[in-house]
A = this chain, B = another copy of it.
């Protein structure tokens, strides 16, 4: 049943289950079978049952799954509910965009924004003042920051990552086009390589 070692492909499907279950819940649907879910989410019913059974038997034969319970279970599996402290490094457009996203509602509290650009320092986004980057390390230690959103330019990325590792930040959400080198025992890196994503589009467009 539970945690033997879940594969990355399964883990990456969990947020999608979570999203769809929330939708169902908001529509007032409180019961769903793997077959019905498969029709709206686009995975096979078999895969849904197998995915969920990695974490426990949440369903019931002849009935299906209780939407509210399953939503809550997957939320727990995903570590939601717990509050995480986050900082944004690089407060340009992307950094500001991320600050304005509604990640708080999922438990990701923004506690600091940092930049090297004098023109940005002092500006407030959602009540958070952009501070000079040399305050980053100190603040991370004080606040016990869990996740850093890395939105600097390519050149600074690895240096900032090194600093983050040193001051105990446990995860880096990496928006730079760099593959960061960090010790894998202590630090998680989740890449959002926009250019890679765009080039994938280009691949499919090219010969039509």
Contact = CB atoms under 8 A, between A and B. Distances in A.
Interface of A: 11-12, 14-16, 18-19, 42, 77-80, 82, 84, 92-94, 96-101, 103, 106-108, 146-147, 170-171, 173, 177, 179, 188, 190, 192-208
B42 A179 contact: yes
A170 B173 CA distance: 30
Contact of A194 (B107, B192, B198): B192
B202 A79 contact: yes
A94 B100 CA distance: 9
A90 to B, nearest CB: 11
For the complex of A and B, 4 pairs with smallest distance between CB atoms:
A79-B206, A93-B97, A15-B196, A94-B97
22 contacts: A11-B200, A11-B203, A16-B179, A19-B196, A77-B203, A79-B203, A79-B207, A80-B202, A82-B202, A84-B202, A92-B100, A101-B194, A106-B198, A106-B199, A106-B202, A147-B201, A170-B208, A171-B205, A173-B197, A173-B198, A192-B194, A192-B197
